[in-house]
A and B are shown apart, each in its own frame.
Chain A
Amino acid sequence: MKTVECQGKDLLGAYGVPVPDRKVVTSKSLLGLCAEDCSQFPLPGMVKAQVPFGGRGKAGGITEADTPSELLSRASEMIGSDLKGTEVRSVLVEKRAEILDEIYLAVTFDAGSRAPLLMAGKEGGVDVESSARLRGEGFHTARIDTALGVPPYLKRLFAKKLGIVDAAAFGDLVESVYTMYRKKDALLVEINPLAVTPDGLMALDAKVDLDDGAEFRHRELFERLREEQKHLIEGEKGEPQRLAKEYGVDYVPLDGDVGVISDGAGTGMLTLDVITEGGGAPADFCEMGGEADARTVARSMEVVLANPDVSVLLITLIGGLTRMDHMAEGIANYLEENEVGPPLVIRMCGTKEVEGKRILEGLGIDTYDDHSEAVGRAVELSRGG
């Protein structure tokens, strides 16, 4: 689960990382109320759009306010505005820090060494958005042995390499970040920038990605963050996205018109590739996973067909764990209850395929055995063939 900045700062703050005084505003009326008592706001301050993606500074999502009237006008201008195609629903107003130096600091995991990775660089700030790009000079990484934690010497060494004078404060901060990373099952905790100010170190941004797989250990936290996000950021926009979220269907909208459902991630990607290279354009990626049943496929059809751009629906199935009789039942159930406009192309093979094909034949639906043939037919239909 990707958190937004203000949530990340709450999490970091709770673990002792210094964060600026701040206040979140989620609506214009609330802003009006708050404006009656300006002492609630830390001024002079930064006004920052709370959006679930990076690069907002360059897109105009961060501005400054010195006076209450500036704050009012800038914050109300920002709320409701469009930032990279997303409506801004909330802003964070925080005390402006005097920045002497900016540093990048993050903890993530390294698939190669199967260990947490501490990363820090001298070049914090707006140009360092993606950890994948951080491979250059002045950038330092260390794998952390989970049994030992971050040893004191490593904190001192990083402080020296980064030119941080107050090594003790930096060490405490690293310890806090690492502890939060571990305790909250984070996949990424990124502070960019970590500012050196006359008052000490200060986390001026916070990007925290929590492990969805570990939700069972943090039920209350996940629930709270989700509830907060309903007010903080724009919800899922389109009907298919909204349905997918409700049903827990793995759905990624794309720009084309060939609706795609698959029963595996790899074969779903393969299907997108073969469609694209065959001159078609996929409308989505929708993968049901290995344990799909009749209801899963019916719901996936509902999600994918909720996209009005879909001109043909291609379902590619190769049953390992999934049973084709169950898939066919789900498809049949959906067709019984819904009028489906776009033509259907179904590729079916694997566990219980004979039973599955029999059910579909009963409905007058032909199935394909060959993946490429099925994809080819779907692309042809999408071009009016």
Chain B
Amino acid sequence: MSILLSGETSVLVQGITGNIGSFQTAVMQEYGTNVVAGVTPGKGGEETSGIPVYDFVSEAVGRHEVDAAISYVPSKFARDAALEAIDAGIKFIVMTAEGVPVRDMMAVLNHAEGRGATVLGPDTPGLISPGKSKLGVHPDRMTAEGDVGVLSRSGALSYEICKSLTEKGIGQSTVVGIGGGPLWGMTQVDVLKLFEEDPETKVIVLAGEVGGSMEQKAAEYIDGEMTKPVVSIVVGRSAPAGKRLGHAGAIVEGNAGRAADKIDVLSSAGAKIGRSPGEVAKIVDQLRG
């Protein structure tokens, strides 16, 4: 088992003929992802890496079973791509674009909620269930199949954590990037819930960062509902107030969003705290005995 993504998950790629879309589709296929169709307006009837391309998502879902859609489209088209996939009845939508306008994300997330669809992202590397499938850009060499669930706001930080775990011989069940914000589809709590329910996942690594109050909500959930051990790292401990660090959501405003407060609440909720990916891996190793 893994969460959200298994070897059977059938995938549709939006923006499949673009530079990034075609390259990443080939990489996903090579890894074993079951990519069944692609969409690029105006390119219907073509093929990319042996995958049929359609003009519209509705045309693709008429021909193929599609469980999940991932979009590699510029941020200005991200809203329309997501709405089209949701309207076509696809229930899991991954949005990789960075810098999607907040107004557009509100529209997408409201629409998804009404249609019972789940959105991951935006600004997400996607997710990987090592050894089974990947939906996004996670470098697979740093991951290995196993029983540690990893979730992170930052893509690159999750790669670092997986690298440290894998080097210690510890594999991962699923690695999920939820994105850089400032608005998120799936939140840390949503992903924690899935890991808690997943019989294969034994330990969870939660990688948070400065800005907002998402880690505070995660801590409440860990404290109240979780039985599995959680190891956490929060980056931006040395972040100066009022400066946005790379992610739209990574900013300390006044006293809100500070790393120290997040570490305090997570620690009080019972999460073990690591300061570097190496330390995180060490703690996970100890927890697994």
Contact = CB atoms under 8 A, between A and B. Distances in A.
A211 B138 contact: no
B238 A320 contact: no
A111 B183 contact: yes
A86 to B, nearest CB: 14
A148 to B, nearest CB: 11
Contacts of A262: 156
B52 interface: no
B245 A265 contact: yes
B246 A290 contact: no
A265 B101 CA distance: 19
B209 A266 contact: yes
Given A212-B99, A273-B235, A320-B155, A267 B160 contact: yes
A213 B182 CA distance: 11
B106 interface: yes
A100 interface: no
Interface in B171-216: 180-184, 207, 209-210, 212-214
Interface stretch (B41-49, B59-67, B250-258): B250-258
B157 interface: yes
A268 interface: yes
A109 B184 CA distance: 12
Given A262-B156, A264-B246, A318-B160, A273 B105 contact: no
A266 B106 CA distance: 24
Given A289-B98, A290-B125, A269 B235 contact: yes
A132 B103 contact: no
B168 interface: no
A185 B183 contact: no
Contacts, number: 178
A73 interface: no
Contacts of A115: 106, 110
Contacts of B101: 185, 211, 213-214, 217
B56 interface: no
Contact of B276 (A250, A287, A320, A372): A372
Given A132-B253, A266-B152, A291-B20, A282 B238 contact: yes
A291 B98 CA distance: 10
A250 B237 contact: no
Interface string B93-129: 0000011111111110110000000000000010000
A248 B101 CA distance: 18
B76 A267 contact: no
Nearest to A264: B156
Interface in A268-301: 268-270, 272-277, 282, 285, 287, 289-291
Contacts of B276: 270, 273-274, 371-372
A252 B249 CA distance: 15
A109 B125 CA distance: 24
A211 B75 CA distance: 13
B109 A318 contact: no
Contacts of B138: 320
B262 interface: no
A272 to B, nearest CB: 5
A273 B207 contact: no
B7 interface: no
Most buried by A among B100, B152, B253, B276: B276
A265 B99 contact: no
B55 to A, nearest CB: 23
Contacts of B245: 252, 265, 268-269, 285, 287
23 contacts: A111-B181, A111-B182, A111-B249, A133-B255, A185-B102, A211-B102, A213-B104, A214-B103, A252-B244, A264-B159, A266-B155, A266-B157, A269-B210, A270-B277, A290-B125, A318-B139, A319-B139, A320-B156, A350-B142, A350-B159, A351-B139, A370-B278, A371-B160
Interface of B: 20, 75-76, 98-107, 109-110, 125, 137-139, 141-142, 152-160, 163, 180-184, 207, 209-210, 212-214, 217, 233, 235-240, 243-250, 253-257, 275-278
Q: Which 3 A-B pairs have the closest CB atoms?
A: A266-B154, A264-B156, A265-B246
